[in-house]
Structure 1
């Protein structure tokens, strides 16, 4: 297995991940992208996936913010994945993080919080004790989850949203920016406001 670091998706989100990796003194060999708009991103070569590439021997991290696209690519690549943890994130020794995750600067994972595969815990997000975060979730900057919250697969919680203790958020739901969640959220629901109210369902 190639121990060099590679990324998939030359986006703004990718720039943050490159910075995290460099903060950990890792070298990023290349960024792969389906439709490159430039040859380099922060000095890292961007390589079109239209080229013949053997991903099976590369350690990858998917640098795409969209949860559904990240899931599709992760399932298609058939390779080993690594995670990127910012040195200024605060991680309990009793927390767990699965493969393919990005934990950004100022994020806090407290005791017995469990993060699934290919999740994004964005800048300054707080995940309190005993929270369960399923695969492909994105917690935006400054999200706050109180203790014992569960978030289902593929859900996206918007910037600055707050979730009180013990809440269950279903899969592939969307919580709007600044929302305050005081009741359980069903699968595929879109919730906004304070207190949070369902405005529609995104059925997949």
Structure 2
């Protein structure tokens, strides 16, 4: 969805409404008519400016990832290495989940990655986000192994698979439940989650 064709306010409204609809109903069942109606757009305007459900989905994910990058101080994976490896990982995860716990549209977008019908194969933007996350995890583990914070006696591919599965499980649970906790409680739950991961990966 090219910037400048819609006003910033109308564009933002459309993306927020779409994120909520996709998160609530899934990709296939999400209603473009409902999105267009709630965003107060005409169908002709939607198809002119956006074009399709797939293009809208990609626009939602792209905009959210851009906003998240501005809100968070995400370290380069190699910068995690050192004596404070796990403290830095904990801080990053805590910050990410604090943003999600606000309950705004970023939390809705986070849930899109766990939809049973998430169109990963047909969404260039989501595919690229997942590739970037995977690359970051690999680099972070490499740095953690090099500094002794992460065990190095198991194959890297196995370790990546383990981390990816656990982080996906914890992230999906957090997006569903962490809004139920106060800030202090949420941070404590996050620390316990990271501590469990540390016990699995630590030397």
Bigger share in helix: 2
Same fold by TM-score greater than 0.5: no
| Higher RCO (Cα < 8 Å, 6 or more apart) | 2
**Structure number with larger C-alpha Rg:** 2
Pairwise TM-score range, normalised by the shorter structure: under 0.3
Normalised to the residue count of structure 2, the TM-score between the two structures is 0.27
Normalised to the residue count of structure 1, the TM-score between the two structures is 0.27
